[in-house]
Structure formats: C-alpha cells, structure tokens
Amino acid sequence: MKKLFTVSFAVLAVLALTIPAIRASEQPKDIVDTAVAAGSFTTLAKALQAAGLIDTLKGAGPFTVFAPTDEAFAKLPAGTLEALLQDKAKLTAVLTYHVVPGKVMAADVLKLKSAKTVQGQSVTIDTSHGVMVDKAHVVKTDIVASNGVIHVIDSVILPR
C-alpha cells in the first residue's frame, strides 16, 4: 500500500508540473507568430520585417489583419513587391492598409460596408458573393490570435 501511495504521489507530482506547461503552450500566439506558424505567410512576414511593423503587430492590439498569402503576393505585377520592399514608406502604407483596429470577427465583417484601416483609408467590404475586402476574396476567417484576429485574403489590397 505504501508503495502504491508513493507511486501515485510521484505521478501526481509529475502531472502538477506538466499541466501548467501544457496549458501555457495552448495559449494563442500573437498575430505575427500565428501567421509565421501557418507557413503560408512568409512574404507577409518578410514585408512586415522590412517595414519595421513586427513589434507593432506583436503588441497588445487588438488588431484585425486581412492577411495576403504568399500566393497573393505572387499575383502582384512583376517588380511590385521588390519596389515596395525598397520603399519603406509605401510598404508601410500598403501593410497598414491590411490592418483594422480592434478585433473584428467574421460575423461582424458581414455587417459592414467598409472599415477604416490603420493606414487611414477605408477598405470596401462586399458580402454579396462571399466576402470581399476591396478586390480580394476572404478565403479563411477567424484565425484567433492573442492580440486580435486574422482573415486570409487571396490578393494584396492597395490603398488608393
């Protein structure tokens, strides 16, 4: 009986030490870490780094990011991405045009006709045939991060 008690106590002690670590690893990551972990936003991560926006999007937020995939960046006309990466001001304007202050979940987006971006201009939201932000289709919604939400789009949207 004493041996069973000792083994049970040892198992409980291991669980007590392990469960908090498991719970901590289950915590949502911030927007940047969530996007990087997804694996389909390497170009976006590179652009955020070049614009100096990583720390901002790792901040408290909340933010809503309409995140273009690597394939979305590949649709840009030849030389556009390279030119943007060389012009920090234009790159920052384009990237912040993809960010809306606050946490706007898909159900909330459906009720909107437009949303003001961090860049200052508003994106147009059309829900008549799926959901579109400007001319980009929203292909995945409500990827929750610790400091906001990501909605995946199939094209890079550009401020007017």
Q: What is the CATH number of the domain that holds 83?
A: 2.30.180.10
Average predicted confidence (pLDDT) for the chain: 86
Residue 85 lies in a domain: yes
What tokens were used for 15? Answer: 């669980």
Give pLDDT, residue 104: 96
Helix (H, G, I), strand (E, B) or coil at 33: helix
Residues 42-60 have a mean pLDDT of 94
Do the beta carbons of residue 130 and residue 39 sit within 8 Å?
no
- Please, where are the H alpha helices in 68-129? 70-74, 80-86, 88-96, 106-109
Stated pTM of the model: 0.82
Q: How far apart are CA 59 and CA 150, in angstroms?
A: 15
CA distance 41 to 5: 51
Answer yes or no: is 159 within a domain.
no
Whether 21 maps to a domain, the answer reads no
Nearest to 35 by CA among 147, 159, 158: 147
Residue 81, domain member (yes or no):
yes
Q: Would 107 be classed as within a structural domain?
A: yes
What percent of the chain stands above pLDDT 90?
76
Residue 130 has pLDDT above 80, yes or no: yes
d(CA 88, CA 17): 46
Quick: pLDDT tens for 53-84: 999 999 998 999 999 999 999 999 999 999 99
Is 112 domain-assigned? yes
Query: Distance (Å, rounded) from C-alpha 97 to C-alpha 158?
Result: 7
Handedness of CA 156, 34, 130, 117 (dihedral sign): negative
Determine the pLDDT at residue 39. Answer: 86
Average pLDDT of span 135-140: 96
Provide the pLDDT for residue 8: 40
pLDDT at 35 over 70: yes
What range defines the domain where residue 123 resides?
A: 29-153
Structure tokens at 80: 């556009």
Number of domains in the chain: 1
